[in-house]
Copies of this chain bind each other. A is one copy, B any other.
C-alpha cells in the first residue's frame, strides 16, 4: 500500500524484534559476568551504562545471584550517582537490603535524598524495620514526619500510592507566572503534567494540564484554563478502584483528596500500571484457589516452598471436607453401583464436564464484575443467558456422548440415556450455578474471585453425582 508496508517475511522478522532485544540483553549480561570474573570492572561498567536504569537494575540482580555482594556493590558504586539512585529504586526489596547493608551511611543518605518521594515510600515499605529506622535517622525532621504519615496509610489504598510532589498554582496567576513557578520547582517527571489549583488553604479548586499552559498566551489567567469538573480520588479508596478510574478515563495523574476535599497528593499512571498487573495476578491466583497470605508481590521463585504450600493449602483443605459429602453420596449408592458397575466409568466424564462448564461461566462473570462489564442488576439477564447457553452446549455434548456410550462402548440404550440426559441436566445446572455463585459472593460484599473455581468444581461434582444417580434411578430402576 505505502512504503511502510513490507513483505510477509519482513513482518515476521520484525515480530521477533523484542525477542531479539532480550537475547542481546542476555548475551551482554554474560559478557558482563565474564568481565567481572576477570576483574575488568571498568569495561563491565561501560557495557552496563549502555543500558537504561531499569535494565541496569536487572543486571545488578543477575550479578547478585552469581557473585558475592561485594562485587555487586563495587559495580553499584562505579555508576554515576544519579544513575545509581534510580537503579536502586528499581531493585527488588531483598537486593536493596543487601546493598544498604554493604554501603556507607553517607551513601545511604545520598540515595535517600535523591530518590523521588513516591519511590522512597515504596522502598521503605519493603525494607525491614531496623533498616527503615537507620534510614529515617538520617532524614531531616520535616521529611521524616511526612514519610511516617505516608508509611501509615493502609496498604493497597490510594494513600499508599501517592506522592506529595505536585505543582500547585493559584487561580490568579497568569500562564507566564505559572510557567515560571513550574520552572522554579524544576521537576522533570510525570508528576508535572497536571498542575493543581488550590483555593484558600489546601482545598482543591481545579486542575490545568501543562500542555494547556504551554500552548496558551502568556497573559491568560490560570482560572480561565482550569477544569473544575476534574475527577479525584479519596486517600482511602482501594487501589483496584483507583486503577479502574485511570483505565476508564485514560488520565496520566489524579488528585488525591482527604475527607475535607483538601489535596494531599497525586497518583501517577506509572504506579497504576503496576497495580493493574498486580490486581489481575491476584484475581487469577484467587480463582485458581491460591491466597497470597504474604501479600508482598514476591516473585514465584523468591517465595519459599513453605510459603507456597501455605498459600495453596486452605482451599485444598476446604475441598477435602467437600469431598466427604461427595463420598457420602457415592457410598449411599454403592450397592446399586456394584450391580451396574459400568456406570462408574462415566463418573469422571460427568463430574469433569460439570466442573469445566461451571468454571467457564464463573470465570466470565468474575472477570465481568472486576471490569464493570456486568453488575448485580444484570442477575436475571445472566441467569437466562447461561440457561440457554447450557441447554445448547448440553444438547451438543449429550449427542456426542450418545455416540460414544451407545456405539463405541457398546452399552445398552438405558445406560446411554442415563449418561446423556444426566449430561444435559448437569451442563445446564453447572452453567447456572457457576454464573450465580460469583454474583452471590459479590452481593455479600466479598471479592468474587475468592470463591475460586475449585469450589465451583466441587459443588458441581456433588450436584453431578446426584443428578446421575437420579437419572439411573429413573431409567434403570436402580
Which A residues form the contact surface with B (CB < 8 A)?
Answer: 1-2, 4-6, 10-11, 14-15, 17-18, 50-52, 54, 145, 148-149, 152, 157, 179, 182-183, 185-190, 192-193, 209-212, 214-215, 229, 231, 233-238, 241, 245-252, 258-259, 262, 264, 269-274, 276-277, 280-281, 283-285, 287-290, 299-301, 305-306, 308-309, 312-313, 315-317, 319-320, 323-324, 326-328, 330-331, 334-335, 337-338, 341-342, 344-349, 351-353, 355-357, 359-360, 363-365, 367-368, 371, 373-374, 378, 381-382, 385, 388-389, 392-393, 396-397, 400-401, 404, 408-409, 453-454, 457-458, 461, 465
Contact = CB atoms under 8 A, between A and B. Distances in A.
A424 B453 CA distance: 22
Contacts of A351: 348, 351-352
B400 A259 contact: no
A254 to B, nearest CB: 12
A62 B271 CA distance: 33
Contact of A4 (B188, B258, B271): B258
24 contacts: A1-B152, A5-B152, A14-B234, A18-B234, A51-B229, A52-B229, A187-B215, A188-B211, A210-B214, A252-B269, A269-B269, A276-B277, A277-B280, A287-B363, A299-B374, A300-B365, A300-B368, A320-B401, A320-B404, A324-B404, A326-B348, A337-B344, A351-B352, A356-B457
A313 B215 contact: no
A315 B356 contact: yes
A328 B409 CA distance: 9
A113 B186 CA distance: 37
Given A1-B148, A312-B360, 20 more contacts: A1-B149, A2-B149, A15-B237, A17-B237, A18-B233, A18-B245, A190-B193, A190-B250, A192-B211, A193-B252, A277-B280, A290-B360, A305-B392, A316-B356, A323-B349, A327-B345, A327-B346, A337-B344, A338-B341, A355-B355
Cβ-closest 8 pairs across A and B? A250-B270, A288-B363, A280-B280, A323-B349, A14-B236, A330-B345, A327-B345, A326-B348
A20 to B, nearest CB: 10
Given A259-B6, A364-B285, A182 B214 contact: yes
Nearest to A157: B15
Given A360-B290, A367-B281, A388 B305 contact: yes
B363 A290 contact: yes
Given A281-B367, A319-B353, A187 B210 contact: no
A323 B346 CA distance: 8
Contacts of A269: 252, 269, 273
Given A4-B264, A187-B215, A356-B316, A277 B371 contact: yes
A90 to B, nearest CB: 9
A124 to B, nearest CB: 16
B190 A252 contact: yes
Nearest to A388: B305
Nearest to A323: B349
Contacts of A342: 331, 334
Contact of A356 (B11, B229, B381, B454): B454
Contacts of A409: 327, 331
A389 B305 contact: yes
A401 B324 CA distance: 10
Contact of A378 (B251, B301, B348): B301
